Structure 1
Amino acid sequence: MNPTDIYQVKRDFFQFSQKLAQGLAKPDQKFIFDMVFGIVKSRSPLLSDIARALEEDTRLLYTVKRLSNRGADFDDFQGLHQNYLQSIQSHLQEDMLVIVDNSDITKPFGEQFEALARVHDGSRDGIEKGYISANIAIASPRTKHPIPIYSHLFSAAEEYFDSTNVETYKGLNLVKRLFQEKSYTLVMDRGYDSNDMFTFMHKQDASFIVRLQDKRYLKYQNKRIKVPELALRRKGKIAFSSTIKGKKYALKVSHTPVELPCLPKVPLNMVVVYGYGQKPMKLLTNHPIKNKEDVLAIVKAYITRWRIEENFRVQKQEYHLEKVRTLNLNSLRLIHCFVSYLIGHHSLLLEKETCYVKQVLHRAKATFSDQKIRLKLYRFIRGLAEILRFDSTGIQAYKRVEKRPRAHQLALAV
């Protein structure tokens, strides 16, 4: 392995760690660099794997204890997250899609994890022990890779837990502050089809596209009608082909003006999409629709929502987040943040497509048997780990050790 490649990777993540740790206490700054580098090199959330990746001279147990103690005591989440948001602020543009979704980390055999609660396991479609994460991400402008802007892990068993909706509202408030005067559109799945959520977004004056549940009632021509019945009246006059999750679909699209009973006199549009699944897909939006292009823009925007699912898949497949074993919720929440920040950093690097990025992607070619890769994010993460596999010195040389000034002898004036 070329030593220059190892140096470039280390330098990149040292600079990224400096941005994350800016203004934090010096022990926290060193801890953040250790965690970021260790997770990238080991592709693991286990503290033992992260400690091995650091290649320190001390015993492994001491390094694990140090990381564990620093993670349990870390409390400046707000400063850490503000530093991350500052690093992506310049990439925010007008009319961006802001994708909102919840995920889960299940620990079905866990007994000693702090604040472990019952959650819905999306991958197995059942109830398991674990934690919920509220996630909000944007898609990078050119390559459409996911860039997380809010990732918060929580549990219903926490002492001050209110509700899942409240955790989502916190994220939406952050999005409004982050975008300031820029316009954006919230894109959500069926889980957010609730009167409280629509009322909250209306008060925020936010644009939205939400997939409707079949039990929802809408007002159409001053009559209250169920969504499936109203959808069947629209047969799809607009033809549209799209690739969703790697599969090509021939879609038929229609739309109709509607109202929500909880938001009377607020003009909305329901977009009906045939061809994806046995039942038509129903989308509700407050975007005005004037022509065919407006309708297709809404459908394309919702299809982009699956990018956040790629974010979850990267967390669990490439960084193996569900294998985390730290029992302390504060530490677990911190590791979840680091993985989200790294995915955002990777996505921004892929957006630039520099020589450094191409070299990392090239290093990962041998680790993929299937060359049909829709997102380069998977290959990039494996390329980084492949390069750092040949590293044997760790990151001690990058840490600045400040020597204390020499103590002066106490002298009394005579």
Structure 2
Amino acid sequence: MPREKSIAERFDAYVETVGGRLYKPCRRFLREALFGLVENRSVLLSQIGRALDEPRRLIHTEKRLSRNLGSERYDDAAVEADYLRLVAPILRDERYPRPVIAVDLTDIAKSRARKMPYLYKVHDGSRDEIVTGYQIVSVEAVGVRGRRLPLLSRLFSQAAPDFRSQNASALDAVATVCPHVPDDAFWVFDSGFDGHIFMRRLDELAISYAVRLKVSNDRLLHTPEGQMKVSEVMELLPQPHTHRIKFHRREGTGWKKKELQLGFVRDVHLPEYTSGGRPSKKKVGERRYSLVVARGMGLKPLVILTTEDVQTKEDAGRVVDIYLERWGVEEANRFTKQGFDLEDVRALTWTGLKRMVQLVHLAYGFLALLVHGPRRQVERIASSFKAFGPVPEYMYYRLLEGIGTLLRATMDGGP
């Protein structure tokens, strides 16, 4: 029976895999940055430098880390691709019989920043207000029993010279991940992705997906009853079916059950749009959709457009369940912000900002791979978590506690 690899050995193998194509000093930086992130749980270079505990003044360590953070010899695309190749086989085992690929947008609020590059207006979801900052597109896979695997995370700004559109940023992320996930993977998008141009591009990628529609924008759809607004379909469509869901309360007080009222309609088509952006009476292609409406989750009903052929109430219930699985990526975004203090990032170059977001993603990815490994090993690490209040149920917060000690031995050598 092969010997179980230690945490330090797994960290070594992880760095060598995702950074294998990097210039050697850049690979050393990757190792040090990931170690500093999980040891001191901060994106500040001063905190990463303190974690390294080098026999020289901290300012010299910071300057070296800063040079590497903005180095042109560091190949971000190669690291991103090698990480995806590393995790892709996991998505083809029994833990992901048909993986749900959740795509989400989150923000980094920098309301007090003045010298950081390409700041732009973003919606701060935690305070529900418009502030200056950046946006991140995140892609994560969800398997059985909510098992998660981060796939990609990219920073973008509408003020950056390489920015084309929010749709283009998200579609680039989807196109990058697509070759590494099974063909039958089911993609899930929130209401920010319900534009007709975005969905047309998804159809060109030939993926199966579901997207939540905004009820307020009065989108037109071709239904068996004729062309109707989404709000009209929602009001006229009966919801005679009952579907019970089980979801976790955010405040950590356990699980809660709810009964939803479901209705659905098949053979839905998207309308053609004119060059001026107006919907016409023509249908887009031959691709058929189904529309699922669920009441009971909040004040507004849940309206989901999907490429799945919904024929029964069980089919409609599965679409709702899959969409609700998407909310897990929001919990992951909260973890990367709180666990690594991502919103405190202070890099003054655009390359450094984007690279630090990628490094946080890789640190989270390493923790996810630990969770996918031997269960006893993970429980042993998580048991070291010490809290004066309630123990967080999200496993990754507990994994961060004390893992740096287990990795310290790997920092004695070079890359």
Shorter-normalised TM-score: what interval?
A: 0.7 to 0.9
Displacement of 1:368? 5.9
What does the per-residue CA deviation read over 1:15-38, in whole Å, with 9 as the maximum and x for residues that have no partner? Answer: 221222112111011111100101
Does the 8 Å contact 1:147/1:343 carry over to 2? no
Correspondence for 1:12 among 10, 13, 21: 10
What does the per-residue CA deviation read over 1:125-174, in whole Å, with 9 as the maximum and x for residues that have no partner? Answer: 222111111111111x3442432222111111212221111111111211
Whether 1:248 and 2:248 are equivalent positions in the alignment is no
What residue is the counterpart of 1:291 in the other structure? 312
What does the per-residue CA deviation read over 1:360-408, in whole Å, with 9 as the maximum and x for residues that have no partner? Answer: 01101x22621462x31222223425x46xx9x67542326xxxxxxxx
Does the 8 Å contact 2:239/2:263 carry over to 1? yes
Does the 8 Å contact 1:106/1:128 carry over to 2? yes
Does the 8 Å contact 1:101/1:136 carry over to 2? yes
Query: In 1, distance between residues paired with 2:209 and 2:322?
Result: 10
Any gaps of 5 or more consecutive residues in structure 1?
1-6, 401-414
What residue is the counterpart of 2:109 in the other structure? 106
Does the 8 Å contact 2:101/2:139 carry over to 1? yes
List aligned pairs for 1:225-304, cutoff 5 A: 225-246=228-249, 247-257=256-266, 258-262=268-272, 263=284, 265-304=286-325
Does the 8 Å contact 1:99/1:136 carry over to 2? yes
Query: In 1, distance between residues paired with 2:130 and 2:83?
Result: 33
1:306 partner letter: W
- Tell me the percent identity: 28
Correspondence for 1:317 among 326, 329, 338: 338
1:381 partner letter: L
Does the 8 Å contact 2:183/2:207 carry over to 1? no
List aligned pairs for 1:63-102, cutoff 5 A: 63-74=61-72, 75-93=74-92, 95-102=98-105
CA RMSD, 1 decimal: 2.0
Change (3 A) 1:221 1:142: closer
Query: In 2, distance between residues paired with 1:97 and 1:78?
Result: 24
Query: In 1, distance between residues paired with 2:391 and 2:65?
Result: 37
Does the 8 Å contact 1:100/1:187 carry over to 2? yes
Does the 8 Å contact 2:39/2:400 carry over to 1? no
Higher mean alpha-carbon deviation, 60-69 vs 289-298, is at 289-298
Does the 8 Å contact 2:191/2:211 carry over to 1? yes
Does the 8 Å contact 1:315/1:339 carry over to 2? yes
Any gaps of 5 or more consecutive residues in structure 2?
250-255, 273-283
What residue is the counterpart of 1:123 in the other structure? 126
Looking at CA atoms only, which structure, 1 or 2, has the larger radius of gyration?
1
Task: Name the SS for the 1:255 alignment partner.
Answer: strand
2:135 partner letter: I
Task: Name the SS for the 1:230 alignment partner.
Answer: helix
Change (3 A) 1:154 1:372: closer
Question: Normalising by structure 2, what TM-score?
Answer: 0.88
What does the per-residue CA deviation read over 1:231-270, in whole Å, with 9 as the maximum and x for residues that have no partner? Answer: 1233422222223342432212111122221325432111
Query: In 2, distance between residues paired with 1:12 and 1:38?
Result: 16
